[in-house]
Amino acid sequence: MNRRIEIITIGDEVLRGETQENNGVWLSRALIHAGLEPWKITVLPDEMDILVAEFKEAAGRSETIIVTGGLGPTVDDLTKEALIRALGGGTEIKAGIVEGIAARMKERGREMPAGYRDQERVPLGADIIENPVGLAIGLRVRAGAGAGGGAGAGSGEFFLLPGVPAEMQAMFDASVLPALGAPGIDAAVRMRTFGLMETQVEDALRAVLPEDVLKTISIISSPRGVDFYIPREPDGAANAEKAARELGSHIFDEGNARLEAVVVGLLVARRVTVATAESVTGGLIASTLISVPGASDTFREGFVTYSNEAKIERLGVSRATLDAHGAVSAEVCVEMALGARAATGADYALSTTGIAGPTGAVPGKPVGLCFAGLAGPEGAFCRKFQFPGDREMVRLRTAYFAIDMLRLALIGEKARLEPFRVAGAGGGEAKGRTR
């Protein structure tokens, strides 16, 4: 389809960095997966003149404009009013909206604030998009459909959605995607990889796919891996098979499964258990794994040993090792993993230590230096990383690289783990293991 779709996300808090803007990314991925690729994503402040001007221009340059944010009852929620002005100023009252919001708030034991009363005033010709999760309604309206003939000569169709991710996603899936007449949710094959940069994935695809096919593939990178989407038609299955052979064990799923879900599934299928010993990641690995339904069948225990004393007392890390190498070292990371495995009786244990920043660097150990360890029946392994980014990014990348080490062990990918083997660390049965 040749539909021109753009995404506009709104909020001063996004531009100021007070919150991470993920709605645009989520919408882009959802559209691509449905065979509808957006051509433009814009982030705008809560400023009326800017919003009005942008809406007018968008109506003329795109057939579909999906807008998120600014639909609540507070003074900085300007999206609806800006669209009304951009479309010529015409409004109408939709009966029942305020009453419905008041009833839902009463069920929660709360009185409806007066600000919600304006929810019933909508652009002329607008249709309501129901919100099954929250209170703010969504709107669907085409430029030129109402009186006033605003937005110049444009006739683009607007879909206004709340900025709260859970609300936006539910409304998009239930109302927007069907309205767009998408070719189908399986119009593209989603391949999920971990351990490679975006350019490395592209190079691998270029090695097995012709240039005309490569131009149709979308590649999206995040700290959780690199995804790429291959159009199913024509020859999508054959192209996906070629890509899978070339990328090998770097591909962890063909579909929508998260890396942690794949790993928990492997643990459950093999009837083995895991424990964690975390310093720099502060429980992030444990939290990520147990976010997956079914993790209780396989997750044994987690330690957050942030101090040297905790590493010694809880995990049996040698004080001599700490004195000789420091807490941020491969030697300590390995002892943490071995100690967690021994203490819990788990089949596998993951460990992390590092310097997330922005402070903490010492000579020879800069911010971003991290180690991820794995202890299991096959022995012990440790990887050293030097990650860029802020504190949150360093911690997130470390956690996911550790989880991926476990995946490689579970699928028997010895070639990729062997370079990180720790000589003399042993393996075999964990002490006191029970079933």
Query: What per-residue confidence (pLDDT) applies to 14?
Result: 72
User: Is the pLDDT assigned to residue 149 strictly greater than 60?
Assistant: no
The arithmetic mean of pLDDT across residues 359-381, rounded, is 96
* pLDDT for the residue numbered 185: 54
In this prediction, residue 434 carries a pLDDT of 34
Reported as a pLDDT band with limits 50, 70 and 90, residue 63 is very high
Q: Which of 27-41, 147-161, 204-218, 287-301 has the lowest mean pLDDT?
A: 147-161
Q: Angle formed by the axes of helices 391-410 and 259-270, to 10°?
A: 30
Would you state the pLDDT for residue 153? 53
Domain ranges of the chain: 5-179, 188-254, 259-420
Task: Using the predicted structure, report yes or no on whether residue 184 has a pLDDT greater than 60.
Answer: no
Q: What angle do CA 36, 3, 83 make, to 5 degrees?
A: 100
pTM of the model: 0.73
The CATH number corresponding to 259-420 among 3.40.50.2000, 3.90.950.20, 3.90.550.10, 3.20.20.60 equals 3.90.950.20
Q: Which pLDDT value is given to residue 3?
A: 79
pLDDT of residue 265: 97
Same fold, 5-179 and 188-254: no
Q: What is the pLDDT of residue 261?
A: 97
Asked if residue 141 has pLDDT above 80, the reply is yes
The answer to whether domain 5-179 has CATH 3.40.50.300 is no
Which range of 34-43, 51-60, 136-145 scores highest in mean pLDDT? It is 51-60
Name the token pair of 310: 């905790």
Alpha-carbon distance of 68 to 89, in angstroms, equals 21
Q: What is the pLDDT of residues 286-341, one digit of tens each?
A: 999 999 999 999 999 999 999 999 999 999 999 999 999 999 999 999 999 999 99
User: 188-254, what's its fold?
Assistant: Alpha-Beta Plaits (3.30.70)
Residue 21 has pLDDT above 70, yes or no: no
Kindly tell me if the per-residue pLDDT of 114 is higher than 90.
Answer: no
pLDDT band at 1 (very low <50, low <70, confident <90, very high): very low
In this prediction, residue 435 carries a pLDDT of 32
Per-residue pLDDT tens over the stretch 205-218: 999 999 999 988 88
